Structure formats: C-alpha cells, structure tokens
C-alpha cells in the first residue's frame, strides 16, 4: 500500500495535430464515454467500458485524507488504508486472499486529500470485487478488533522506518510541511502522521473516524473495463445500496498560508551529498494559474534542454540532479525546486544559479519552442495513459471527487493549450518571490549520529500469541465467478529487412500510438572485469549525440513531437525503445534510426556521464537497500563471476573506460544480425516495412562476439554477512542462494512454488513476518531468471529490534516449504489459479506486449509459449512443488546478508549459530 501522493494527469481520448506535432487550440476531443448514477445513499457510480482486454477495474475513492485529521489524531486516514484490508462483516479474513486467487491486482493509497482502493480482476470476477469493496465499506467495524489495530499500527511504523527514517533525505517532505503550513493547518503534518498519535489512539477513536468519513455519500465508485453495464449496475445496487448514508462531511477550508519573509533551515543528516530545497506557496487545484505553474516547472527542469538542467547539470556541472515542479493540492499548493550538489560544489553556488534562472524567466518570457515542447509532452503522455484501465478509472474518480464531473478532459486540456509565454512569465513573478523556504540537507559533521532508538520499546506490539491456530475463513457468502472470458493473444507478423534485421509486428489499433523496441541479444554478461559497466555506459551514451545531431538536438526534437526514447542494458540483452503518436511516426523513426545507426559517443558527453556515475556510487553507499543489493551479489557469486559485479560497473572500471571501449562494444553488439525489432501499436507490417528499410538502409551486419559464461559455484555452507549501518532505522535482510537459468525445465514448478512461498501478498513469508508478527512492511521471495543461473532471494526491511527473529522466521519458512510445513492441495490450486488468472493483465499496454515478446527473443522461447503458459502452470503437481523446493532450496548453504546497526543486531545474529563475517559496503571483508 502506498501513501505517496498520486498525481493524476489529464487524459485525452484523441489528439489532432498539425505536421509539426503542435496541437491546435480549436481541436475538440471526443469525451471518454461513461454512464453515471447516484444511489439513494449518496454513492456515486461511474461506469466506463473498454473491451480491449478481458479485465475490469473497480476503483473506490473516499474523499478523506490526512487533511481531515486534527492535531493529536494524525495518521488515521493512512491507518485506515491498512485496516481496510483486515477483514469485514461477511468475510472476516485477509482481504487479499480471495482476490489474489482470482488473479487480481489489489492496492490502496492515501494522500492529503483522498484515499483510494482498487482491484483489477478478470472480467468474470467483477461481482466478487464489488462484494468485497461494499462489505468493507458497510461492515468493517463489525470485524475490527484491538488485535488487528495493534498489528496494523506496527505495519505503519515499519512503513515509516522503511520509507522515511531509513532513506537519505527521507524526512525532507514532512519538514517542508511543518514549515510551509502553520500548526493546525491540515497540510502541516505528513500523510503517515505522528506515530505517537497512532500509538495513543483507542479503538473507539479509530472507529469514530471511520463512521465520519467512510460512508457512501463521501465516496465515488468507478467500474472500468470489460463488463456488462446493466449487470454491473445491478450488482452495485445490490451490494452498496443497503449501506446507510452518513452525516454530511464538513471539509476544512483554512485561509491560504503565506510566508512573510524568507525562511532558512539547515539540517544535518546521514546524506551523501548536500541538497537544497527551495519552496514557495503556489495555488490549490483548479486555480486559474495551476496549468501555467505546471508548465513553468516543465520548462525549468524537464529534460536536458530545460533551463535548470542545461545550466546547472550540463554546463556548469554544479548539480548531480535538479528538478522543479508545481504541487497543487485541494486547498493549497507549493512550487518546489530541489537540487543535489555535485562533489566539491556548494549549495551557495547552486542557489545563486537557480536564482539567476528564475530571474531570467521573470524578466523574459519563455520561447514559443519551449512552450510547445512542454505542451506536447503533456498531451502525448496523457494518450499513452489511456491504455491502462486502472489509470482511466483513477482519473475519472479524481475529476468526480475534486471537481464534481468525471468528464473534464477537454476543459483540462484546453487550460494547458491556453497558456501563453506571458502567462508563464507572470506566474513566475507572482509566486516565485523572495518569501520562500530555503532548506539545506548537509552531511553530518564528525561522529554526530542520530539518537539510538530503544530496541525493547520498539518491539512489535502484535507479535504475542501469533502462533495460535487460525480458523479457516467463512467463504460461503463470496460470489461465485462467472464463465471464464476469452483471451486471445494478438498475432505476430514476422519479417526481415534486407540487412538481416528481424521485425516482429503486432497490430493494436485501439489508440493512435506506436511502441518500438530494438532488442539486442547481448547484455553485460560477457564484459571483462576491467571493462565492467561498458554495456551500461554504451546504452546511456547512445542518444547523447550522432553524426548529425547533438544530445540537445535529440532531446528537443523528441520533446517537440511528444516522443520518448530510452536505451538500457541488462545481463542478457540491450534494448532501445521508442514511444510515439502514430501521426509523428516518420519523424520519430528518423531520430530513432539515427541514434541506433550513427551514435558518435562524444568525449564531452562521456565525461559528463562518467562524473555522474561516479557520484552515484557515492550516493549508493548511503542507501541500505542499495548496499544490500551490491553485497548480496558479491557474496553469492564472488568478485570473479560477472553476476558478482554490478551492471553499472565500479569506481576503477568507470574511471578507466575510454571512448574507444564504447565504440568497440557498440560495433560488436549493435548489429542488425544480433537484434530483433518489436513494433506494437497502431501500425501494420505492410506500411511499416518500407519505412524501416529506408531508415536502416545504412546499418550493416557484422561479427558479433559473445563469450562463455562461467558456471557459478554453489556455497558449501550457510553464513551470515553483516554490513554495519550505525543507527539504521531498520535492518535490510536478504537470504538466499544461486538459483536457476531461464531455460531450466523446472521453470513452471518453481514459479508456482515461489508464489506459495513469497511471490505475492498472501504468500507464506509475508503473512508471517508482516501480518502475523508485525516485523516488516513487506516480505517477499523471488527468482531472477537469466541465461545463467540468477539469484534466489528472500528479503525484507525489518525492525532493528527483531532482526534475529526475522531471520529465524525466514529460515523456518524456507525449511517449511521443503516439507516441515507441507504444501497443501488447496495452496497449490490457489496459487496456480492466481498465476493463470493474472495472465491477461500482462498484455494490456503496447509496452507490456513488447516486453513479453522481448522474452521470446532473449531466451529463445517458442512462439507457442504464451498459448502454452496456462496449460503448463496447470500441469504443476504437489510432487513437482515438493521436488523443486527440496532440489533448489538448501537451507544449510544459504547466504544471509544483513545491512543494519551492528551494535544493536550482531549479538542476536550470532545466536542463530552460523559463522558471521563483517563486510564493507562493497562486500569486502572488514578486518
């Protein structure tokens, strides 16, 4: 569950553009078709049909967020986001269980202004999703207990530790709120609230908050996707209609806060680099200046051609990263510029240059080209968002809840189209004044440290008695699923260009968009150790200049047509992707082919990327999770195996890489006879192939050199490896061993076994460590499949005080899946059905389809793979699960990597009985 604020972009059903890609102000967009009704109890029901994939989204918004709380009772809205998954009157058990069996995607999120919940299910499970949502709206309190409340209090505390206290700069957001909004203002406190308030809250306090806000007349329900509207309306009335209307909700509406002068704050924290936050008061949602402020943020910092990035990151090299943006909320807003200093650069230098850029846009309006690029990015991004039914459902609800009408897409788009350069200059002068907050985060001096938390006081309150036998939930009232919907995969048209490039085309004409992905069959696996990171650097620099275009030309030309291009590498492959509107395909393809065929790898760009990469290594050492990833790989594979290194390289290799190294890697990898171009979207093969022949005419095949992957050596015995992170708020635990390659014949049994063990929310390890014990915000297991044997891991961020206990519970579950806690026939069937029913969700967008096809290319899977998937999952037996668990999970040879406060956790870890070794942040032994 995610308490992070959700920003919902406006949606456009279709875009009409002139040849330069710029939308005209007189273009009218057909509305997204929907029907709307309001039940007698006040619940708003909005329905939108989209039959492109046999799935349906149920999306409920409650018009309550942290701003509806009061001083001394903060965090309740976010707490209820968690409590709503704990069972209700007619299904008093974990909310995830019946829905994940249906293959659902389930979650919720809380912001300062609203709380939402959603399920995306196969269309024949719509009734179940509506039943579950209605039952918790109308029957949560009847099933609420102090035990459940205590458990979720622990989970929320773990969430805070993981997302705030244990992250560099993690407390910045709540500090900004406390300064920008006076005490008592609804935005003064963070969404997660005060843990002291949550600890002090009684069961009746919490129930009272629910009675006030979780009522049908304060909610909006959207049903979007593949469904029968008549039947859906009947179900909505059946399950929600009997819920009593609540009292009318009074909404806070304080005066807009102001800063009378500049406020300066400096915070010493465990951060790797200084960072400055410059914050001004802006406007609430739906204000006449909101669109202009949004575009001001884009012009200042979106892309390397933007004002701040061009000056501070690329020209003067003062900042490692910089961003600017407007954040309008329901009753107030802020505009913020955030910059992280490069090593040896000062925040004073950065602040001076930011001020210069702000003053420049205040004195001289942005150019028409800058405005056009900003608008085209907004418009193109919105139409790509239409692929996803959950995104559409969320946007319909956002408009309904905040503005009173679901269909405001034309109005919102017109507001952006109406913004002029003079408007942007005006809002820069109006809002970016001298009255602002300037907050600096700087590394701690000397040995100063955060106060150590009392381990005993932070023991989970919910752990006692959690080994008691649980009764099976009553499922008799759950609706039965309808007939399985038909799901047919789109056909793949395979062709080959004259230069040997294979082209796979999938026609998806629902939206005027095209996705291309050039998949090269070589990644970082065969890099020599001395050249570690060369594949990654080559991909990063691919679009940083060609023979005829500079990096800035490429960025600006793509933005001018609302297209995006990205190159990235993995262990087994490299991908260069393009997303564009169909009308702009010719222009986008010209840039795309130029980047792939004619990269120049300029020395100046290489030095910029090298500098930022090396600084990234410094930043990595301050993140416990990043440290854990590095050390876990090194422990499992050793420094001499490719998988024991990082794709990004290391400090020595990156310092020594030359332009010739990149050119050599490019010439031996980026060849048409080593690639497959996957094209998905509003395009047909017959029209496309002549364009591709022309675009790639000068790209010639060549010799491709791939090495031999060494066999990874399994460990001989189990051991614990501890990385000291003094006063860390949590311990990051990773336990596992070398797994299997993607071509392993036991792939499907392993998928099912892992699903049972830790592959989803309702899996064994998460239900144990999170829901029963309250040790963590989330626990999981998983295999990473590669051409060689990738890693298996069981991992969680756990409370420092229960690090030993968490490791012990992981080990218990790993032994359990091997037979000490036998897998039941019910568990097997549940997880098989979950995997099968979730399958269609993986083919909803053009990007998802392209990603699925990429796996066929990289791992040599047959064309029949997708059609065989369901039957192969169905064929997995209990014997298969038991066999692969015992064959591939060996508890006596596990590596246990823990990143945390050594002083607090080492004594307990030693009690487990394995050899314990101290490592540094790179996985090297500490003497």
User: Is the per-residue pLDDT at 14 higher than 50?
Assistant: no
The three-class DSSP label of residue 587 is helix
Per-residue pLDDT, averaged over 630-647, amounts to: 96
Distance CA 874, CA 851 (A): 24
Give the position of tokens 């080492």.
Answer: 906
Query: Residues 6 or more apart from 789 whose CB is under 8 A from it?
Result: 712, 738, 739, 740, 741
Q: How far apart are CA 216 and CA 213, in angstroms?
A: 9
Q: Are 721 and 917 in contact (CB under 8 A)?
A: yes
* Strand order across the beta sheet in which 35-38 lies: 35-38, 44-49, 219-225, 55-62, 115-122, 105-110
- Report the run of H or E that residue 477 belongs to, with start and end: none
As a whole number, the mean pLDDT across the chain is 92
Average pLDDT over residues 43-63: 96
- Is there a contact between 523 and 573 (Cβ–Cβ < 8 Å)? yes
Q: Can you give the pLDDT at residue 266?
A: 97
Give the range among 376-390, 690-704, 825-839 with minimum mean pLDDT.
Answer: 376-390
By the 8 A CB rule, do 229 and 47 touch? Answer: yes
Q: Does 453 have pLDDT greater than 50?
A: no
**pLDDT recorded at residue 458:** 55
**What string of H, E and C letters represents the secondary structure of 789-810?**
CCEEEEEEEEEHHHHHHHHHHH
- pLDDT score recorded for residue 2: 39
Q: Which residue has the tokens 């530790």?
A: 161
Q: What is the arithmetic mean of pLDDT over 459-481?
A: 66
pLDDT digits (tens, 9 = 90+) for 574-610: 999 999 999 999 999 999 999 999 999 999 999 999 9
At 483, is the secondary structure helix, strand, or coil? coil
Stretch 228-245: mean pLDDT? 97
pLDDT in tens, 490-531: 789 999 999 999 999 999 988 889 999 999 999 999 998 999
Residues 6+ apart with CB under 8 A from 824: none
- Which residues is 675 bridged to in the sheet? 520
Nearest CA to 535 out of 572, 569, 575 is that of 569
Q: Say if CB 635 and CB 594 are below 8 A apart.
A: no
Neighbours of 43 (CB within 10 A): 24
pLDDT at 712 over 70: yes
Residue 305 exposure: Cα atoms within 13 Å on the Cβ side: 20
Non-local (6+) Cβ contacts of 488 within 8 A are: none
Distance CA 703, CA 688 (A): 27
Higher-pLDDT residue of 336, 408:
336
- Say if residue 213 is exposed, middle or buried (CB neighbours under 10 Å; 0-12, 13-18, 19+): buried
Model confidence at 29, pLDDT cuts 50, 70, 90, reads: low
Task: State how far the alpha carbon of 927 is from the alpha carbons of 723, 731, 917, 919, in Å.
Answer: 13, 22, 10, 9
Task: Calculate mean pLDDT across residues 661-684.
Answer: 96
Kindly state the average pLDDT of the residues 815-822: 97
Tell me how far the alpha carbon of residue 271 is from its chain's centroid: 23
What percent of the chain stands above pLDDT 70?
94
Shortest CA distance to 285 belongs to which of 327, 337, 253?
327
Q: How many CA atoms lie within 13 A of 541 on its CB side?
A: 29
28 close to 417: Cβ distance less than 8 angstroms: no
Q: In what helix (H) or strand (E) does residue 252 lie, and over which residues does it extend? A: none
Cα torsion angle, 861, 862, 866, 872, sign: negative
Q: What is the pTM of this model?
A: 0.91
Block residue for tokens 């939402």: 116
Angle between helices 421-431 and 368-385 (to 10 degrees): 90
pLDDT at 832 over 80: yes
Residue whose structure tokens are 């910059």: 339
Task: For residue 299, give the nearest of 325, 268, 333 by alpha carbon.
Answer: 325
Query: CA-CA-CA-CA torsion for 293, 295, 301, 305, nearest 10 degrees?
Result: -150
pLDDT for res 849 = 94
Task: Quote the pLDDT of residue 448.
Answer: 36
Per DSSP, the residues of 540-601 read HHTTSBBSS-BHHHHHHHHHHTT-EEEEEE-SS-EEEEEEEEGGGHHHHHHHHHHHHH-B--
The answer to whether residues 94 and 87 touch, using CB atoms and an 8 Å cutoff, is yes
Sign of the CA dihedral 423, 424, 426, 430? Answer: positive
Whole-number Å distance between alpha carbons of 886 and 523: 32
Residue 484 has pLDDT above 90, yes or no: no
HSE of 747, CA atoms in CB hemisphere, 13 A: 16
Token representation of residue 849? 């389809």
Q: Residues 880-895: what's their mean pLDDT?
A: 97
Nearest to 876 by CA among 785, 787, 747: 747
Q: How confident is the model at residue 905 (pLDDT cuts 50, 70, 90)?
A: very high
Between strands 44-49 and 219-225, the pairing is parallel
Model confidence band, residue 22 (pLDDT cutoffs 50, 70, 90): very low
pLDDT-derived band at 380 (thresholds 50, 70, 90) equals confident
pLDDT higher than threshold 90 for residue 369: yes
- For residue 833, is pLDDT > 90? yes
Query: Parallel, antiparallel, or unpaired: how do β-strands 219-225 and 55-62 relate?
Result: antiparallel
For the four alpha carbons of 842, 843, 845 and 848, in that order, the dihedral sign comes to: positive
Q: Is the pLDDT of residue 617 over 90?
A: yes
The 10 Å CB-count burial string (b at 16+, else e) for 217-228 is bbbbbbbbbbbe
Could you tell me which residues come within 8 angstroms of residue 526 by beta carbon, excluding any fewer than 6 positions away?
Answer: 642, 705, 706, 707, 709
- Integer Cα distance of 102 and 96 in angstroms: 10
pLDDT at 384: 84
């Amino acid at each position: 569950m995610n308490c992070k604020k959700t920003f919902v972009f406006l949606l456009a059903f279709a875009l009409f553009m002139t040849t330069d890609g710029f939308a005209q102000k007189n273009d009218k967009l057909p509305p997204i078709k929907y029907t709307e009704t309001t039940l007698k109890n006040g619940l708003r029901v909005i329905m939108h049909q989209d039959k492109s994939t046999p799935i349906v989204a149920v999306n409920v918004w409650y018009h309550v967020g942290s701003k509806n709380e009061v001083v001394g009772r903060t965090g309740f809205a976010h707490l209820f986001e968690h409590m709503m998954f704990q069972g209700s009157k007619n299904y008093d058990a974990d909310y995830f269980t019946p829905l994940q069996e249906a293959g659902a995607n389930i979650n919720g999120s809380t912001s300062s202004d609203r709380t939402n919940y959603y399920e995306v299910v196969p269309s024949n499970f719509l009734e179940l999703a509506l039943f579950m949502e209605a039952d918790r709206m109308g029957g949560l309190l009847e099933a609420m207990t102090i035990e459940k409340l205590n458990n979720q209090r622990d989970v929320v505390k773990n969430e805070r530790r993981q997302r705030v206290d244990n992250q560099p700069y993690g407390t910045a957001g709540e500090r900004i709120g406390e300064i920008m909004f006076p005490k008592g203002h609804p935005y003064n406190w963070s969404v997660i609230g005060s843990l002291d308030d949550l600890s002090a809250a009684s069961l009746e306090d919490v129930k009272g908050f629910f009675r006030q806000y979780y009522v049908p007349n304060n909610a909006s329900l959207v049903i979007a996707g593949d469904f029968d509207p008549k039947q859906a309306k009947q179900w909505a009335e059946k399950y929600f209609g009997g819920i009593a209307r609540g009292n009318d909700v009074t909404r806070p509406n304080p005066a807009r806060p102001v800063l009378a002068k500049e406020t300066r704050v400096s915070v010493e924290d465990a951060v790797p680099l200084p960072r400055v936050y410059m914050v001004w008061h802006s406007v609430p949602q739906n204000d006449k200046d909101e669109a202009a402020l949004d575009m001001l943020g884009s012009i200042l910092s979106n892309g390397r051609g933007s004002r701040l990035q061009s000056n501070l990151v690329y020209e003067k090299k003062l900042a490692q990263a910089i961003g600017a943006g407007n954040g309008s909320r329901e009753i107030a807003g802020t505009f913020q510029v955030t910059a992280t200093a490069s090593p040896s650069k000062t925040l004073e230098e950065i602040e001076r240059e930011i001020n210069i850029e702000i003053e420049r846009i205040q004195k001289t309006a942005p150019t028409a080209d800058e405005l056009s690029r900003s608008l085209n990015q907004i418009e193109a991004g919105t139409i790509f968002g239409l692929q996803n039914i959950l995104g559409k459902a969320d946007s319909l609800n956002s408009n309904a809840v905040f503005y009173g009408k679901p269909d405001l897409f034309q109005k919102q788009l017109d507001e952006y189209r109406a913004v002029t350069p003079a408007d942007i200059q005006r809002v820069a002068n109006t809002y970016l004044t001298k009255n602002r907050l300037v907050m600096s985060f700087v590394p701690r001096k000397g040995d100063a440290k955060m106060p150590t938390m009392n381990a005993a006081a932070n023991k989970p309150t919910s752990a006692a008695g959690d080994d008691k036998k649980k009764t099976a939930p009553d499922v008799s009232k759950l609706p039965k699923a309808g007939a399985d919907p038909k799901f047919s995969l789109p056909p793949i048209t395979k062709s080959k260009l004259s230069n040997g490039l294979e082209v796979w085309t999938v026609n998806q004409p629902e939206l005027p968009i095209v996705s291309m992905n050039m998949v090269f069959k070589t990644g970082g696996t065969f890099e020599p150790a001395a050249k570690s990171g060369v594949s990654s650097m080559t991909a990063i620099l691919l679009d940083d200049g060609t023979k005829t275009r500079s990096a800035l030309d490429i960025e600006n030309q793509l933005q001018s047509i609302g297209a995006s291009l990205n190159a990235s590498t993995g262990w087994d492959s490299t991908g260069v992707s393009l997303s564009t509107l169909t009308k702009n395909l010719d222009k986008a393809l010209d840039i795309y082919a130029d980047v792939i065929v004619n990269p120049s790898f300029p020395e100046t760009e290489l030095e910029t990327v090298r500098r930022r990469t090396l600084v990234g290594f410094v930043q990595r050492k301050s993140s416990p999770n990043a440290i854990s990833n590095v050390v876990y790989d090194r422990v499992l594979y050793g420094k001499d195996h490719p998988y024991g290194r990082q794709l990004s390289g290391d400090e020595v290799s990156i310092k020594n890489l030359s332009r010739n190294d990149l050119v050599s890697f490019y010439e031996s990898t980026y060849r048409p006879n080593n690639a497959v171009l996957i094209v998905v979207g509003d395009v047909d093969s017959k029209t496309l192939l002549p364009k591709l022949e022309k675009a790639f005419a000068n790209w010639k095949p060549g010799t491709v050199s791939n090495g031999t992957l060494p066999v990874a050596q399994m460990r001989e015995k189990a051991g614990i490896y501890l990385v000291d992170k003094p006063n860390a708020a949590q311990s990051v635990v990773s336990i596992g061993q070398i797994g299997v390659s993607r071509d392993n014949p036991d792939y499907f049994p392993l998928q099912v076994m892992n699903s049972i063990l830790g592959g989803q929310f309702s899996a064994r390890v998460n239900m144990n460590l999170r829901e029963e014990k309250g040790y963590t915000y989330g626990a999981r297991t998983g295999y990473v499949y590669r051409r060689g044997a990738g890693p298996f891991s069981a991992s969680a961020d756990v409370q420092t005080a229960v690090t030993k206990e968490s490791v012990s519970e992981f080990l218990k579950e790993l032994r359990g899946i091997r037979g000490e806690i036998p897998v039941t026939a019910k568990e097997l069937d549940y997880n098989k059905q979950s995997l099968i029913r979730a399958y269609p969700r993986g083919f909803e967008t053009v990007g998802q389809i392209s990603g699925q096809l990429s796996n066929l290319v990289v791992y040599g899977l047959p064309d029949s793979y997708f059609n065989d998937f369901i039957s192969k999952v169905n064929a997995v037996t209990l014997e298969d699960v038991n066999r692969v668990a015992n064959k591939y999970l060996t508890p006596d040879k596990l590596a246990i990597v823990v990143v945390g406060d050594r002083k607090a956790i080492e004594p307990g870890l030693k009690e487990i009985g394995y050899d314990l070794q101290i490592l540094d942040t790179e996985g090297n032994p500490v003497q």
